[in-house]
A and B are shown apart, each in its own frame.
Chain A
Amino acid sequence: MQGNLQLRFDERFELQSGEFELPLSGVTVLFGRSGSGKSSLLRAISGLDKRTHGHLTVNGEVWQQGHKHLAPQSRHIGFVFQDAALFPHKTVKQNLAYGIHRLPKNFKPADFDQIVHRVGIADKLDRKVNFLSGGERQRVAIARALLMQPKYLFMDEPLSALDWRAKHQLLTLIEELVAEFEIPLFYITHAPPEVERLADRIVFMQQGKIETIETLQQALARPDSPLFDEQGAVSVLIGQPQHRVESGWHPVNLGEDVLWLSESSPIHVKSVRVRILAKDVSLALSDPKDLSITNHLPVTITELIPESEHKVLVRLRLRDGQYLFSEVTQQSVERLHLHPDLALYALIKSVAMTE
């Protein structure tokens, strides 16, 4: 996908993306504060805003050229809106059928029963949509989009209105569906944990412009990453769960080291992403045995990054090559004589599977 899109309203630019190029695979997250133009960009890409101008080519097909644009009806997209946007005068089943009836005749219909079961709404088909919970509504919206057999899937903050439990369940569902159906997903959010869980790459937006496009690894390696605005620096480690329990702990392999998690990994998954806040990582020159913290990992310092308020961000390399941030005070750096290439132990107070 390659383009440059603008949206102007009363002499003011709502969107002025600048030239961008995005691969059509995996999950692309559009990240930014509210008002940063991420929704405008997604609406412009999907053709929902007629005021859009600029150019956009997707997979060799011209979607936008000046003010001329390919109708959204012909773009083979599936769109899941922030509050589901279900038709309130129709039942769940009628909502799902709405798009199917409008597919071109030569389209082989998707397997209705399979998708409805997969998304978990098989028992809700005859309900009025007003009697669904927030999570159920989004499930219907996702099924409705998938039934269109889209080539590209767009989601605009689909979880923002949900409670944490529904959020957690739906994130897992979205993650699994992306892997199963192999549809490129463009996903808007302002929540770093969602980014860390789903993203392959991130489009950072500010004031209607695309600032940078980075892979998740690049974005997490940058100490000033916008992803860290809220909770400070975060590391995301990818590990292989052993799918067993030992005294209440669930071991996850990081190369030859093991990370102990208090929660179990979803069955069938081969790898999990775990999220560690830099301020939850302490450093010790020797491996302490008499400590309540369970997770001790041998690491090497690669970089010391001074931060404000006498804090220092320490970038550490694990034995399997992954990176981990630790936040310590300037005083600790001096007391322990921390310097690059020093081998020591990272003590991790809390590890969470990304939710």
Chain B
Amino acid sequence: MQIFGAEIDLQPIWLTLEIATITTLILLIIGTPLAWWITRMRSSVKVVLEALIALPLVLPPTVLGFYLLIIMNPNGTLTEFLRWFGFEGQLTFSKTGLIIGSVFYSLPFTVQPLMHAFEAIPQRLLDAAATLRAHALDQFLTIVLPLSQRGFLVAATLTFAHTVGEFGVVLMVGGNIPGQTRVVSIDIFDHVENLEYTEAHILSGMMLVFSLFVLMLVYGLNRRFGVKVG
């Protein structure tokens, strides 16, 4: 596609959005019970789990990427494990591997906002629900979920945004295969390496506008929710 006279390949953009969307969905499904479980935990294991989940925040993405590369290589633990379930093919340098990597990388951005939201729900509301004969799952669906809408909104946004912005893990695990693992951040890096500044400018500008738009949308919604839920 021609933009400002430069030939721009849009495929990395679509791939980035696809991976970010799938990762966000997976993380909401895994992260919700995980965050709830940790929030409700009283034992000292809680500290260990919280630290483990926060690791991707402090580790250089290359370190995380390196370990992921080890467990996802064709003879790695994760690959072997998935083979048991009939998985064929390889994880490294593939879209599947990239999504698995993103799930690890973005985990804290889902779990932490959800934990904050869950912690803000007073225990007595759940006690009240229990005396009104609601069982644990029922309480979660009818009390906890509606009262943590904001938390979910924040979690989904941050997860999506961070997955879009990841670079290190992708480079280590996914490489740079067009249509498979070449996401926008890699594509921009590529263009800069090849001194194609025009293309890099256009892609970076698009990312900038897109990110700003998503964030404004979310904060706008959040404000409106705020009035409703308050």
Contacts and interface: CB of A to CB of B under 8 A. Distances in A.
Secondary structure call for the B interface? helix
B138 interface: yes
B131 A72 contact: yes
B128 A88 contact: no
B132 A46 contact: no
B218 interface: no
Given A79-B128, A89-B146, A89-B147, A148 B133 contact: yes
A46 B131 contact: yes
A89 B149 CA distance: 11
B130 interface: yes
Contacts of B134: 73, 98, 102
Contacts of A103: 133
A338 B217 CA distance: 84
Contact of B131 (A83, A89, A145): A145
Contacts of B89: none
Interface string A226-252: 000000000000000000000000000
B119 interface: no
A197 interface: no
Given A85-B124, A87-B143, A89-B229, A48 B133 contact: no
Interface residues of A, number: 25
Interface in A130-164: 130, 144-145, 148
20 contacts: A48-B127, A48-B131, A71-B135, A72-B130, A72-B131, A73-B130, A73-B135, A77-B131, A78-B131, A79-B128, A85-B125, A87-B128, A87-B143, A89-B146, A89-B229, A98-B132, A98-B142, A99-B131, A148-B132, A148-B133
Interface in B113-151: 122, 124-125, 127-135, 138, 142-143, 146-147
Given A85-B122, A88-B147, A89-B229, A79 B135 contact: no
A112 interface: no
B122 A130 contact: no
Nearest to B131: A79
Contacts of A89: 146-147, 229
Bin the interface of chain B by size.
Answer: 10 to 19
Please give me the 5 A-B residue pairs with the lowest Cβ-Cβ distance, nearest first: A99-B132, A79-B131, A102-B133, A85-B128, A85-B124
A47 B22 CA distance: 41
Nearest to A9: B42
A92 B104 CA distance: 43
A352 B124 CA distance: 35
A77 B128 CA distance: 11
A265 B134 CA distance: 41
Contacts of B135: 71, 73
Contacts of A73: 130-131, 133-135
A297 B195 CA distance: 107
Contact of B128 (A81, A102, A130): A81
Given A72-B131, A98-B132, 4 more contacts: A48-B130, A85-B122, A89-B146, A102-B138
Interface string B56-82: 000000000000000000000000000
A73 B124 CA distance: 15
Nearest to B122: A85
Interface centre among B131, B133, B229 (most CB of A within 10 A): B131
B230 interface: yes
Given A98-B132, A98-B134, A148-B132, A79 B127 contact: yes
Contacts of B130: 48, 71-73
Interface string B154-173: 00000000000000000000
Nearest to A78: B131
Contacts of A99: 131-133
| Residue picked from B128, B134, B135, most chain A C-beta under 10 Å | B128
A338 B142 CA distance: 68
Nearest to B138: A102
A73 B136 CA distance: 10
A99 B229 CA distance: 22
A81 B129 CA distance: 11
B222 to A, nearest CB: 16
Nearest to B228: A89
Most interface-central of A73, A98, A130 (chain B CB within 10 A): A73
Contacts of B146: 89
Interface in A56-111: 71-73, 77-79, 81-83, 85-89, 98-99, 102-103
B144 to A, nearest CB: 11
A302 to B, nearest CB: 46
A207 B124 CA distance: 23
Nearest to B124: A85
Contacts of A43: 127
Nearest to A103: B133
Nearest to B145: A89
Q: Which of B127, B132, B142: most chain A CB closer than 10 A?
A: B132
